[in-house]
Amino acid sequence: MPEMRNIIIIGTDHTIQAYAGALERDGFAVSAKGAASDSLSAAADVVIVDLSLAGEDPVAKSYLEAAAGGQAPPVIAIVSPEQLSSFDPARDIEDFVLAGAPAEEVAARARQAVWKRHRVDTKNVLKCGDLLMDLANYTVHVGGRPVELTYKEYELLRYLATNQGRVVSRETLLSRVWGYDFYGGARTVDVHIRRLRSKIEDRHNVFIETVRNVGYRFRAGV
């Protein structure tokens, strides 16, 4: 099994409850800190900070200051509509979401932050026949040949491969890879799957099956 990535949520009880479950289902080991809690010492790959606490919470403030100095893990800020007019997108924050954003969107942004960071962990490898995925370094090889994928292609492959043998609907792929706020349709998934197949498959290697009128399945026991 791939090694879990660590994420810290610094926010209100409501924020923690809203996002912790989805992040855990997405493969993150979640540490949470409420406004009245002691500081956390857990090493993190990503930190989510509720900006409503930035002025009053010393731990939230310390992570934001460390991010400004380039000495912190990627920080994803949760910004309320009231804070939006004064929020500076040029500050050293990896990404931000509006308060109340769907948990799946927050999880997708956390995955992308880890992608950009390219953490090294040689144990974090998934092998399916001739296909080798390094889930920490975000690399893919087929038959020893490196394959260049876009972020969305990689996320599609990762989700299908980690659900090997299961049929995954187009709607599920849209929500897990693009997020619930994406307005594209099933054709978006089909186009990306076709491009992905053209890069990883040939007459000797067929990894992804189309399940008519439903979605796709990564072949078990490839």
pLDDT in the model for residue 11: 86
Half-sphere exposure of 148 (CA within 13 A, CB side): 0
- What is each CA distance from 29 to 22, 93, 126, in whole angstroms? 11, 21, 19
> Domain 5-117 belongs to what topology?
Rossmann fold (3.40.50)
Separation between Cα atoms, residue 25 and residue 115, nearest integer Å: 18
- What is each CA distance from 178 to 152, 156, 192, in whole angstroms? 8, 10, 12
pLDDT in the model for residue 144: 84
Q: For residue 66, is pLDDT > 60? A: yes
- Can you say whether the dihedral through the CA atoms of 154, 156, 158, 161 is positive or negative? negative
3-state secondary structure of 22: helix
Q: Are strands 5-10 and 28-33 parallel, antiparallel or unpaired?
A: parallel
pLDDT band of residue 191 (cuts 50, 70, 90) is very high
Token pair, residue 21, equals 């479950």
Q: Which ranges in 70-141 belong to alpha helices (H)?
A: 81-84, 103-117
Residues of the chain with CATH 1.10.10.10: 125-218
pLDDT mean over 132-159: 89
pLDDT in the model for residue 181: 55
48 touches 76 (CB < 8 A): yes
Separation between Cα atoms, residue 209 and residue 218, nearest integer Å: 6
pLDDT mean over 109-129: 69
pLDDT mean over 116-143: 74
pLDDT band of residue 111 (cuts 50, 70, 90) is confident
103 touches 21 (CB < 8 A): yes
pLDDT mean over 85-95: 71
Instruction: Supply the mean pLDDT for the chain.
Output: 80
Closest CA to 176 of 194, 157, 191, 195: 157
Residues of the chain with CATH 3.40.50.2300: 5-117
Name, of 54-63, 65-74, 116-125, 169-178, the range with top average pLDDT: 169-178
The CATH code for residues 125-218 is 1.10.10.10
Q: For residue 71, is pLDDT > 70? A: no
